[in-house]
Amino acid sequence: MVMDLFDHNAQDQIKKEAPLAARMRPRTLEEFVGQEHIIAPGHVLRRAIESGQLPSIILWGPPGSGKTTLSNIVANSTHSHFSPVSAVSAGVADLRKIIEEAKERRKLYQQKTILFIDEIHRFNKGQQDAILPYVEDGTVTLIGATTENPSFEVNTPLLSRSRVFVLNPLTDKEIRLIVERALKDKERGLGEMKIELSEEALNQLCIMASSDARTALNALEMAALVTPPDSEGRKKITLEIVEDTFQHRALQYDRDGEQHYDLISALHKCMRDSDPDATLYWLGRMIEAGEDPLYIIRRIIRFASEDIGLADPQALVVAVAAQQAVHFIGIPEGNLALAEAAVYMATASKSNALYTGYGKVQEEIRNGSDEPVPLHLRNAVTGLMKNLGYGKGYKYAHNFEGHHVDQQHLPDSMKGKTFYTPGELGYEKQISARLKDLRHKPSTPPSKP
């Protein structure tokens, strides 16, 4: 009995000394912040948790979005035993031990076991295969957490037996709510420390946390610990203290306000005007101020199609590769991938011919153009279709010289219309020359040997 009491006291002491992020971990769905699209009342995951009929699931989301917290809540809400492991350090022997304990627990107490595997993408095929039979027969309910796309990182058999839920990055508003709760909570948070966090310091804390609740709480705790109390015992955390905590100077920036739109506009226009120096500067301003890197790369990908198009087909390839690099290695390592993509866009040949051409198509369709496909372009997949003339008169391009054939492809009312007119720069110069050649070249069947 004395040993039990000692263990209990030791556990209490550990909880008190735990980092703020661990102490403030939500215990119920009501305390959980964010991810309303999957856990709001009426949504499928919420209903599964409340009914106690939870299938094996994979939680895919960025760091600090609540994957581990949600898994703990699921275990508590379903009265299941929670067996967490990290794929970084655990092996097959650890998994087998958990499986054996889960079998005993199920046999003796009829209690379910939730096997939580953090960073499941780090398990190799053999490790994932080791748990597959026990997920399938219900010995354990798997909750896997990953920051990587499970389609590529989780074995197909295991993935097919699990439901994937995507967790979104937390917004600045949600990070603010989490920080404000920690400041007020006297039991688990910093409520007893009489902390006054200035508005500008709070705003910067939310920005620099980069959607990661754990980062925000860790920084808040550090700032609170290093801030001396004034004569009245109050700890006033200023913007300068937050900057020092992050070792990063706060730049004038508001991810939801005017600076956000001003800087992305400047970046876009400098790439369009082929100025790599200004492009790098405005890109750096956004990155260093804490802008979401995926927002930046989305705009660069759009730019590759809108302002470059087929003048340099590699632009889109470079932009998408940068998105993959940022997603794979994160920030700050991914900063150079962003810089490489942005400078490539700035120095590439420019053309908005594709953008203009698709705009013309949109206008044509909005004006009611929805005529049927000409009969000769349709496939005659049944006898009736063939009798109706489907495919009749179609000329197969590969049967003609140059693998080109001149035949009508647009509906009758649009015959002869041109939507795409290539420019005279970069690769579009070659496209333009080829189209001119084809349009003045008669369709000639190859001569028979």
Task: Report pLDDT digits (tens) over 47-103.
Answer: 988 887 889 999 998 888 899 999 888 888 888 898 999 988 888 889 999 999 999
Find out whether 13 and 38 touch, Cβ atoms under 8 Å.
Answer: no
- Give the span between the Cα atoms of 207 and 241, in whole angstroms: 15
Say what the pLDDT of residue 395 is.
86
Tell me how far apart the terminal alpha carbons of the chain are, to the nearest angstrom: 101
Cα atoms in the 13 Å half-sphere on the side-chain side of 402: 13
Q: Is the pLDDT of residue 447 over 50?
A: yes
Q: State which amino acid sits at residue 48.
A: A
| Residue position matching structure tokens 């991938």 | 337
Mean pLDDT of 402-420: 84
Q: Is the pLDDT of residue 448 over 60?
A: no
- For residue 378 the two structure tokens come to 């349709």
The listed range with the strongest mean pLDDT (15-29, 186-200, 390-404) is 186-200
Say what the pLDDT of residue 13 is.
52
Instruction: Specify the DSSP class assigned to residue 117.
Output: E
Say what the pLDDT of residue 6 is.
47
Query: Cα–Cα–Cα angle for 154, 159, 160, nearest 5°?
Result: 155
Query: Cα–Cα–Cα angle for 340, 342, 346, nearest 5°?
Result: 115
User: Would you put residue 129 in left (φ > 0), alpha (ψ -120 to 50) or beta?
Assistant: alpha
Say what the pLDDT of residue 118 is.
92
Taking only the tens place, the pLDDT of each residue in 125-180 is 888 988 899 998 889 999 999 988 888 888 888 998 899 999 998 988 999 999 99
Kindly tell me the burial class for residue 400, based on how many C-beta atoms sit within 10 Å of its own C-beta (0-12, 13-18, 19 or more).
Answer: middle
Taking only the tens place, the pLDDT of each residue in 332-364 is 888 999 999 999 999 999 999 999 999 998 888
More confident residue, 241 or 255: 241
Find out whether 185 and 221 touch, Cβ atoms under 8 Å.
Answer: no
Q: Is the pLDDT of residue 299 over 80?
A: yes
Find out whether 277 and 346 touch, Cβ atoms under 8 Å.
Answer: no
Find out whether 234 and 194 touch, Cβ atoms under 8 Å.
Answer: yes
| Residue position matching structure tokens 């209990």 | 8
Q: Which residues pair with 304 in a beta bridge?
A: none
- For residue 56 the two structure tokens come to 């094996």
**Sheet arrangement for strand 163-166:** 81-86, 113-118, 141-146, 57-60, 163-166
Say what the pLDDT of residue 5 is.
46
Domains along the sequence of the chain with CATH: 34-166 (3.40.50.300), 172-246 (1.10.8.60), 264-347 (1.20.272.10), 372-439 (1.10.3710)
- Give the span between the Cα atoms of 212 and 260, in whole angstroms: 20
Say what the pLDDT of residue 177 is.
95
Q: What is the mean pLDDT of the chain?
A: 86
Helix (H) or strand (E) holding 266: helix 258-272
Mean pLDDT of 431-448: 74
Q: Is the pLDDT of residue 253 over 60?
A: no
Say what the pLDDT of residue 431 is.
87
